[in-house]
Amino acid sequence: MSSMIKGILFDKDGTLIEFRDYWHMVVSRLFALLEKEYQVKPETVLLLKKISGYLAEGFQKESMIQYASTSQIIDSWYNIIKEAEGGILEREKLFFLFEEVALSEDIIIHSLPGVDRLLSYLKKKGYLLGVATSDSRRSTVHSLKCTGLLDYFDYIGCNEGDTQTKPSPQMAFTFCGLAEIKTEELLIVGDSITDLEFAENAGAAFAGLLTEYNDRARMEMLAPVTVTVIDEIIEKYHL
């Protein structure tokens, strides 16, 4: 085990789990549902797509779908629908529909290359592992179960209750408290600038995963360590 790093906290979507195909399917299905079943006007759905960074084949880089919490996404959508069409859909109902679509059994979820090898290696080495995500707990547990990753983790931090979302350092502090480690003994791994700010705010080390849907040039410029495949952190941090 590295003499410095004792615990590792991972972002979920785009870091452990494939982001674009899964969430594009979820959001596409939800937009269609809102239009067909709840009579949300096509022009209002276009506004939802625009604010979400939704494109025909994916998402804009550093889109709201990638970095915002589920609650923040729902708040933005709800405000647009309410302003455009009045109270045709309650916020709680919109949140429920989002989760129900995300939990659909027929939407396939994949872990990213190198993830299984990395987590198996780190667990055998005795590192304490956690997840820090802006997703809801139900959706997080579902996706980790579907990919066979759930049992690797000692801590799962989600968008729920009074948990502050990234880049607030709260989830990092909670993980360190449970793991009984110092923040300087923590490595945070993520694929967005929000994850980098999360690590900086916590006083933790950081490794940025370069992907097709993040701002690679900005990540390479700002992050102290970057990798193109996640298990490269083993060599980069001498784990």
152-185 pLDDT tens trace: 999 999 988 788 999 999 999 999 999 999 999 9
3 pLDDT band, cuts 50/70/90, is low
Mean pLDDT value across the chain = 94
pLDDT tens sequence across 62-84: 889 888 889 999 999 999 999 99
Contact 23, 16 (CB under 8 A): no
What is the rounded CA–CA span in Å between residue 99 and residue 136?
8
Q: Is residue 77 domain-shared with residue 119, that is, in the same domain?
A: no
52 has pLDDT over 70? yes
Q: Is residue 36 domain-shared with residue 116, that is, in the same domain?
A: no
Q: Is residue 96 domain-shared with residue 151, that is, in the same domain?
A: no
Supply the CATH number for residue 172's domain: 3.40.50.1000
Q: Is residue 152 domain-shared with residue 50, that is, in the same domain?
A: no
1 has pLDDT over 70? no
Final residue before a domain boundary, out of 75, 102, 129: 102
Q: Kindly state the helix (H) or strand (E) to which residue 102 belongs, with its residue range.
A: helix 91-102
Provide the number of structural domains found in the chain.
Answer: 2
pLDDT tens sequence across 92-117: 999 999 999 999 999 999 999 999 99
Within a domain: residue 1?
no
Q: Is 160 left (phi over 0), alpha (psi -120 to 50) or beta?
A: beta
Q: Is residue 63 domain-shared with residue 116, that is, in the same domain?
A: no
2 has pLDDT over 70? no
Final residue before a domain boundary, out of 102, 134, 164: 102
Q: Is residue 45 domain-shared with residue 82, that is, in the same domain?
A: yes
Supply the Cα-derived Rg of the chain in whole angstroms. 18
Final residue before a domain boundary, out of 70, 102, 134: 102
Token pair belonging to 40: 């949300």
* Domain membership of residue 179 as a residue range: 7-18+109-236
Q: Is residue 33 domain-shared with residue 144, that is, in the same domain?
A: no
Contact 225, 206 (CB under 8 A): yes
Q: Is residue 117 domain-shared with residue 197, that is, in the same domain?
A: yes
